[in-house]
Amino acid sequence: MRAIFSLMTLVLIALPPVAVVLSGNALATTDMPAQAATCLACHSAATSAASGAPQLAGQQATYLQKQLQQFKNGQRGAAVSDVKGQQMAAMAATLSADDINSLARYFSKQQAEVITSSADAALLDQGRRQYIGSCGACHGAKAEGNMAFNAPALSMLSADYITLQLQHFKTGLRGKDKADKPGRQMALFSRNLSEQDMQAVAAYIGAGMP
């Protein structure tokens, strides 16, 4: 972490004009939808660990849009066992279709902050093999996502969030709706994963794919 900070300092010193543009972008104000601040209360890099909410910055707009719609119409976050999902569904209920579009577009243009967690080396090694062997085929070599498969970026997500979502896919909380093809695809794949596999691959992505 310290290394990242000192790097940032260096960048600021070396390239002040660019740095200004970058920071302006990160805090982007002019085109920021009104509700975005509410979202960021949980979904910002600083709060996501505590809230368990995923970072949204840098995620594909189509993916965000679809998830918000699903939260709103009850396809996601309706189950009693899905506590976090229920919280999100309540928030999504307040959004109009226009809100959803502009929020999705806005967050997709922001840059995620990389937050890495540490994990046991053996677990990371298992996760790396798992990721390269399977996940990367759709989610990309750097977990940057691949629109050709409607596969979202994973690189900005925490290990806990990824584990939980994999469990949701496997147990049928996500990816059940007939019309939700990408969700069904992921649900089908998640059934190949053991609990240990999920922990490993989540740890690997959460650790910044070392």
Cβ(142)–Cβ(74) below 8 Å: no
Helical residues (DSSP H) of 44-193, grouped into ranges: 48-51, 61-73, 83-92, 97-109, 121-130, 136-139, 159-171, 181-190
Binding-site size, other proteins (CB under 8 A): 19
Choose the stretch contacting other proteins; rule: CB under 8 A; options: 3-11, 14-22, 36-44, 128-136.
Answer: 128-136
Residue list 165-204, contact with other proteins (CB under 8 A):
184-186, 188-189, 192
Neighbours of 204 (CB within 10 A): 26
**Nearer CB in complex with other proteins: 149/176:** 149
47: its two tokens: 């709060």
Question: Rounded to whole angstroms, how far apart are CA atoms 64 and 152?
Answer: 9
Q: How far is the CB of 172 from other proteins (least distance, A)?
A: 15
Indicate the SS3 state at residue 59.
coil
- Regarding 46 and contact with other proteins (CB under 8 A), the answer is no
When binding is defined by CB under 8 A, the residue of 38, 87, 146, 171 that contacts other proteins is 146
When binding is defined by CB under 8 A, the residue of 87, 149, 167, 176 that contacts other proteins is 149
Residues forming the site for other proteins (CB under 8 A) = 129-130, 132-134, 136-138, 140-141, 146, 148-149, 184-186, 188-189, 192
